[in-house]
Amino acid sequence: MPATINRRVLLKSRPVGEPKPTDFEIVEAPTPRPADGEILCRTIWLSLDPYMRGRMNDAKSYSPPVEIGGHMVGGTVSEVVDSRHPAFQPGDIVLGYGGRQSYHVAKAGATPGPFGPLKLDPKAAPISTALGVLGMPGMTAYVGLLDFGQPKPGETVVVSAAAGAVGSAVGQIAKIKGCRAVGVAGAPEKCEYVVKELGFDACVSYRAPDLFAALKDACPKGIDVYFDNVGGDVLKTVLRQINLFGRIPLCGHVSQYNATELPAGPNLGVVVGNRVTIRGFIVSDHADRLPDFRRDGTAWLKAGRLKYREDIAEGLENAPRAFIGMLRGQNVGKQLVKVGAADPTRG
């Protein structure tokens, strides 16, 4: 039986610049009860992702903002603890969008909605991967690189935030497709991880005294694809080395998520001369690619061609701190919060 108390992380105030722990508030509320056709889910894993920073602003974006006093959104992997839908049984593991709380109720339709609930098979892969390498970040890498980056064997693919959940998948898929994969990351240990563990050909620190020269060394034949999720100076520097008909899938601008004023961007003259395509995308528009991604991603994972790391914060009370750290780039791999219940796929 579920506990009667639901712990929730609420947005207390809209951050100015970098979020502070005091912008969040943890409250206790009664555990909700499922109505007919609904299931009650107890959170095992909570996903933390950069896009959530955007939801904290009172600004028009591709999704509405979180209200002050509302609970922070987020993908979750949960255990079903009560079901009023015939297709779900207590003990089932589901992917959903429960947000930063220990329990949530989800409406279970005949087909899962864009945010679930989707029943997971704990035998197929560790269930936490449904939030990472086999989930939204992995699919962002897959769609962005393959559909918009269109890498050809022998080309050079550069990816920023290379040690993160999306970036680490981008580089490995680039290698699978026969490309030279070059990461950009911050700390030396991230660069080392990306090259030694993930098999990238090179990784450059954006803190290098001469980023242009470092990137040039790592990309002797120029850059054909730049998968960008940070924007800022790295994008400017890459544009100075982009090849003819280069492609730049753009899925985030994390370098400015905490900015109070939007900085200027790169000069786009080279985009004309070199016939470059810059393509902004949001993975949720591309649900039609989900079956392909699941098939390929699962196969690559099993074959050891797609590796991943998880950076795990323990307990919902540590979610705000882990989230702030992630925006600073302190995580390596997928940032998760272990919220509470046991994970049947781990010891």
Q: Is 269 in the site for its own copies (CB under 8 A)?
A: yes
User: Using CB under 8 A, which of the segments 39-47, 108-116, 182-190, 267-275 binds its own copies?
Assistant: 267-275
Pick the closer one to its own copies by CB: 236 or 321: 236
Q: Which of 29, 125, 271, 290 binds its own copies (CB under 8 A)?
A: 271
Residue found by looking up tokens 């894993």 in the block: 45
CB of 147 to its own copies, least distance (A): 12
179-208: which residues touch its own copies (CB under 8 A)? none
In angstroms, the CA 218 to CA 203 distance is 7
- Dihedral of CA atoms 12, 16, 18, 24 in degrees, nearest 10, equals 0
CB of 285 to its own copies, least distance (A): 7
Q: Is 281 in the site for its own copies (CB under 8 A)?
A: yes
CB of 179 to its own copies, least distance (A): 22
- Cα-based distances in Å from 36 to 82, 85, 106, 199, 248: 11, 7, 11, 49, 46
Q: Is 277 in the site for its own copies (CB under 8 A)?
A: yes
Q: Is 216 in the site for its own copies (CB under 8 A)?
A: no
Q: Which of 10, 251, 319, 336 binds its own copies (CB under 8 A)?
A: 251
Q: Is 89 in the site for its own copies (CB under 8 A)?
A: no
Q: Could you list the beta-strand ranges (E) of 13-75.
A: 24-30, 38-47
Q: Is 256 in the site for its own copies (CB under 8 A)?
A: yes
Q: Is 282 in the site for its own copies (CB under 8 A)?
A: yes
In angstroms, the CA 331 to CA 1 distance is 35
Tokens linked to 105? 């109720």
Q: Is 220 in the site for its own copies (CB under 8 A)?
A: no
Q: Which of 20, 221, 279, 295 binds its own copies (CB under 8 A)?
A: 279
- Cα-based distances in Å from 311 to 57, 133, 134, 332, 335: 26, 13, 16, 6, 5
Q: Is 5 in the site for its own copies (CB under 8 A)?
A: no
Contact by Cβ (8 Å): 175, 200: yes
Instruction: Kindly determine how many residues on this chain lie close enough to bind its own copies according to the rule CB under 8 A.
Output: 33
- Cα-based distances in Å from 74 to 50, 175, 256, 334, 339: 11, 30, 21, 14, 12
User: Using CB under 8 A, which of the segments 19-27, 92-100, 186-194, 277-285 binds its own copies?
Assistant: 277-285
- Dihedral of CA atoms 72, 77, 80, 81 in degrees, nearest 10, equals -60
User: Using CB under 8 A, which of the segments 66-74, 100-108, 160-168, 252-260 binds its own copies?
Assistant: 252-260
Amino acid residing at 111: T
Q: Given the rule CB under 8 A, which residues bind its own copies?
A: 54, 61-62, 231, 235, 244, 250-253, 256, 262-282, 285
